[in-house]
Amino acid sequence: MGFVAYVLKRLAYLGLVLLGVSAVVFFLLRGMPGVDPLAAYIAPGLPISQDALTALRRELRLDEPLPVQYVYYVTNLLRGDWGFSRTAAQPVLEALLGRLPATIELAVFAVVLSTGLGVPLGIIAALRRDRATDVAVRVISITGISFPVFWLGIILQLVFFYYLGQLGLPSLPSRGRVGDLVALQSPLKAVTGFYVVDSLIAGNLAVFTSALRHLLLPAFTLSLISLAAIVRIMRASMLEVLRQDYILLARSKGLPLRIIIVRHALRNAITPVLTTAGTTLGILLGGAVVVETVFSWPGIGRLAAQGILNNDSILVVGFTLFVATMMVLVNLVVDVLYAVVDPRVRY
């Protein structure tokens, strides 16, 4: 099968997956016994007459049989109408797309951090196999993943924002994407929606440094989720490669260890790490609900959290579908990249 045919086939699967996801989400939310879907459209305690409720029910077609409602729902989805979110006071798709750049920026930084930390740590662990350093690296990375993310986020805020600040030392911000006053004094025109990139384009140093500082804590917190996996995969893969004959040859030629690792071993050992990093990116693009909430990061994860708190089922369904789409697309890209990176892979 040719490459193009493969991609087309995968895209066709994407349609099927989304249809499946939409059906599951829709019937779960609308079909639950004893649940009136209308309840999700009206803020609790807001006085509204029975007549108005009936009118609203008719307008939303909630008086039709469930399968008919589903057909309406899917037809609207295909037309780009994902419904209107009370929480965001915006159409759902517009709300999600508007917040996506913040999530992507955070996810990319988190993956860069976890790879940047995980690869060297994995190499060190492999080189010092079963020695104290190896054990320490593994314990630290496992500990990182074992802590609940919200707790870790709060602790990092406490140390790097609060305590450092109280001691009069330079500290890191506790929330948001950019300093409030910086944003007021040096407004940034959105081009890509990524503050780090946009500020560089505009040559706006104040926003650039502020954005970078704001990224550090949430990105680091998020990176710890995948750090353990990357360290372990890097370590195993490196050990595997170090056993190969060509490494032995390189050693016997008297090449310095640094050259052997960086030039010869790393390039072969890193492929599985890249796969993990790619998948992680996919997961993180689905919105890091907890980290975005703790750090008030205005991405799709925080929006979803607000939607859940507001019982905004229209938004929550839209978010679920959106995340499913992102996951499928990212997996597709990773699979395609596989063929590009590794010449042995053919479709």
Partner 1 sequence: MRLARLLPAVLAFALVMALAALAPAASSDTLVWDIAAGPQYVDPVMGTSAQANVMVMQNVYERLVWYDGPGTQPIPWLATGWEVKDGGRRYIFKLRKGIKFHDGADLDAAAVKFSFDRAVLIDDPTGIGSFFPTGTAAPGILKGSWEFSKSFGVGKDYSQAAVDRYLAAGAVKVIDPYTVEFNLAQPYGAFLSDIATFMGSIVSPAYVTKHWTKPADAARGFIPGVTAGQRDERMLYFASGTGPYVLETFDKATANVVLKANPTYWGGPTGKIKPRLQTVIVRATLDQATRLLNLKSGEVDIADISTAAIFDVIDKRKWLEDGKIEPIVPGISVPGPNPWLTIYFAKMNVKMKNPDGSLAPFQPFQDARVRRAFASSIDTADIRRNVFNGFAEATSWGLTPAQFGYDPKVKAGYAFNLEEAKKLLLEAGKDLGFGPDKPRDMVIIYNAAAPWQSYIATQVASNVNKLNVGLKIDVKALSFAEYVNSWRSQLTGFSIHSTFSLTADPNPWLSAFGTSAGFWARTSSYDNAKANALYTRQFQTLDPKQRAKVISELVQVVNDDVMWVWIGAATAYGQPTFNPNVLRTSVKGFYYNPTYQGFYFPALWKE
Query: Of 135 and 205, which CB lies nearer to partner 1 in the complex structure?
Result: 205
Burial class (CB in 10 A: 0-12, 13-18, 19+), 180: exposed
Nearest-angstrom CA–CA distance, 294 and 291: 5
In the bound complex, what is the minimum distance in angstroms from residue 107's beta carbon to partner 1? Answer: 16
Place of tokens 């050259």: 259
Element (H, E) at 84: strand 84-85
- Is residue 148 part of the contact set for partner 1 (CB under 8 A)? no
**Stretch 93-132: interaction string toward partner 1, x if CB under 8 A:** --x--xx--x------------------------------
CA torsion, ordered 170, 172, 175, 180, to nearest 10 deg: 50
- Is residue 158 part of the contact set for partner 1 (CB under 8 A)? yes
- Is residue 56 part of the contact set for partner 1 (CB under 8 A)? yes
Contacts of 217 (CB under 8 A, 6+ apart): 153, 156, 157, 160, 161, 172, 173, 174, 295
In the bound complex, what is the minimum distance in angstroms from residue 161's beta carbon to partner 1? Answer: 7
- Is residue 63 part of the contact set for partner 1 (CB under 8 A)? no
Q: Which residues pair with 84 in a beta bridge?
A: 91
Neighbours of 280 (CB within 10 A): 23
Total residues at the site for partner 1 (CB under 8 A)? 69
- Is residue 165 part of the contact set for partner 1 (CB under 8 A)? yes
- Is residue 235 part of the contact set for partner 1 (CB under 8 A)? no
Q: Which residues pair with 90 in a beta bridge?
A: 85
- Positive or negative torsion for Cα 143, 147, 149, 150: negative
List the one residue from 21, 25, 40, 238 that touches partner 1 (CB under 8 A).
40
- 89 backbone φψ class: left, alpha, beta (φ>0; ψ -120 to 50): left
The residues in 292-331 that bind partner 1, with binding defined as CB under 8 A, are: 293-296, 298, 302, 305-306, 309, 311, 313
Cα 117 to the center of its chain, rounded Å: 18
* Interface stretch with partner 1, choices 181-189, 223-231, 249-257, 316-324 (CB under 8 A): 181-189
Q: Are the C-beta atoms of 43 and 86 separated by less than 8 Å? A: yes
In the bound complex, what is the minimum distance in angstroms from residue 70's beta carbon to partner 1? Answer: 18
Query: Of 22 and 157, which CB lies nearer to partner 1 in the complex structure?
Result: 157
List the one residue from 161, 197, 275, 329 that touches partner 1 (CB under 8 A).
161
Structure tokens at 276: 């993990």
Nearest-angstrom CA–CA distance, 31 and 33: 6
Concatenating the DSSP letter of every residue in 35-85 gives --GGGGGS-TT----HHHHHHHHHHTTTTS-HHHHHHHHHHHHHTT---EE
In the bound complex, what is the minimum distance in angstroms from residue 32's beta carbon to partner 1? Answer: 8
- Is residue 203 part of the contact set for partner 1 (CB under 8 A)? no
List the one residue from 184, 253, 343, 346 that touches partner 1 (CB under 8 A).
184
* Interface stretch with partner 1, choices 16-24, 80-88, 231-239, 334-342 (CB under 8 A): 80-88
In the bound complex, what is the minimum distance in angstroms from residue 38's beta carbon to partner 1? Answer: 8
Return the DSSP state at 174.
S
- Is residue 192 part of the contact set for partner 1 (CB under 8 A)? no
Nearest-angstrom CA–CA distance, 106 and 116: 15
List of residues contacting partner 1 (CB under 8 A) = 32-37, 39-40, 43-52, 54-56, 58, 86-90, 95, 98-99, 102, 154, 157-158, 161-162, 165-166, 169-172, 174-177, 179-182, 184-185, 206, 209-210, 212-213, 216, 293-296, 298, 302, 305-306, 309, 311, 313
